[in-house]
A = this chain, B = another copy of it.
């Protein structure tokens, strides 16, 4: 049976909308809600029905109004709103990157399914999708093997990353003045400066900014295989640095400065300078990640 995480998440989001609007206000149309929440109207109607049942909303059809304030505890608990596939991902990344798993470890579908509280199908699907990340290998009819999040893996990952990013940075620098990318680059430059100003409080926001910055560069000359590869980078970085907080503030501050130099270079469109700034930053990112292997 399908899980109803979509419904529960939509329900919680709608509760927040109700709170924001206040008692007595009329509700938006079903179509509007559907667009807002990013779910089908079928789900919206299910949410509305539940809200009426609970008494938070009164009236029928197009005469619905907010009937009462939403009490604390009306939301579905967070874990119930996370899609099964996402849960598997989080569990599996933790299992892999936090060291319980040695290179060469056999992966047992049924065992993982039990441990993560999902059916074997979910595990299977995840493993199949995750295969392209290069961290697991399949032996037909005989299961999966974890290959290890090793120094070697990181080296290979960065080799490709540098190749791709250099290519995209070059392409970006050669775009005409009229290209839509330049204002976007300036906008992200501003966000870097803002973050740098509040670095002491907000240094954790860098991870997201970093991701957006590199994706913007790749967007200069779109290529689906490069985009795909960036999914791998994003996932690995996301989980790796989430559990590896050593020197995070200092690391991020340095990276912001590198980004700013890189952006300056791009804005001048001086190709050698772009390449230098790009190479410098990526080498630094690589050194940071490789350093985590030395420590261990």
Closest-by-CB residue of B relative to A224 is B134
A144 to chain B, nearest CB (A): 13
Q: Can you list 17 contacts pairing A with B, beta carbon distance less than 8 Å?
A: A121-B121, A124-B125, A125-B128, A128-B128, A128-B129, A129-B129, A129-B131, A132-B132, A132-B228, A134-B224, A134-B225, A134-B228, A156-B224, A157-B225, A159-B223, A160-B226, A225-B229
- Interface magnitude class on chain A: 20 to 34
Secondary structure call for the A interface: helix
Tell me whether B129 and A160 are in contact (CB under 8 A).
no
A122-141 at interface with B (beta carbon < 8 Å): 124-125, 128-129, 131-132, 134, 141
Residue A163 lies at the interface, judged by CB distance under 8 Å to chain B = yes
0/1 interface trace, chain A 197-227, chain B, CB 8 Å (1 if under): 0000000000000000000000000011110
A230 to chain B, nearest CB (A): 12
Closest-by-CB residue of B relative to A229 is B225
A226 to chain B, nearest CB (A): 7
Closest-by-CB residue of B relative to A228 is B132
A106-128 at interface with B (beta carbon < 8 Å): 121, 124-125, 128
Closest-by-CB residue of B relative to A223 is B156
